[in-house]
Amino acid sequence: MLIDLPRAAETIEGTLPYLRNYRLFISHAWHRDEAYFRVVRWLNAAPNFAWDDFSVPEHNAIDTTEVGKTIEYHLHTFMRQACAFILCAGLYASHSEWIDYEVLFARRIGRPIIAVAPWGSERLPAAASYAVESVSRGDSLVQAIRRHGLPEGA
């Protein structure tokens, strides 16, 4: 059976999505880690979905002791490797300078931004207006990543 690789979101024999490894950066506020862990649980539980985490959660903080390397330098390095940028879009994100910084950088380097809205939320932070799609469930998030994630090497 021949597989048309550019059609990664299509299915093989109509049953399973074509697998590829998605490199994701999940933007979140450290004082609201539950949003980050909820997204990680959704992605880990998704069938036929492989991903790598290029985020900077508090438990895996950036080492700022390396001479000449700033937090911004490390964030840029991680974000450039990601094929999509996931924004945990609770209203607390409106008060996070780092989230704003990450969203602006994601836009500058052309990464699609997918906003994850808290369940039942009617208001989202201004940063979410840059999202190509907003979701509030795990299955919707995986579908959005498959639709908007940049191809390998992009």
Is residue 153, in this structure, part of any structural domain at all? no
Q: What is the pLDDT along the chain (154 residues), one digit of tens a residue?
A: 344 444 444 444 555 665 789 999 998 766 667 888 899 999 999 999 999 998 875 555 666 667 667 878 888 888 999 999 999 876 554 456 788 888 899 999 999 999 888 765 566 666 777 688 788 788 899 999 999 999 876 6
* CATH code for the domain in which residue 142 is found: 3.40.50.450
Is residue 129, in this structure, part of any structural domain at all? yes
Query: How many folded domains does the chain comprise?
Result: 1
Which pair of tokens denotes residue 101?
Answer: 């910084």
- Are 20 and 142 in contact, with CB atoms under 8 Å apart? no
- Strand 21-27 to strand 11-12: parallel, antiparallel, or no bridges (unpaired)? unpaired
Q: CB-side exposure of 82: number of CA atoms within 13 Å?
A: 31
Is residue 4, in this structure, part of any structural domain at all? no
Q: Distance between CA atoms of 52 and 82, rounded to whole angstroms?
A: 9
What is the span of the domain harbouring residue 132? 12-148
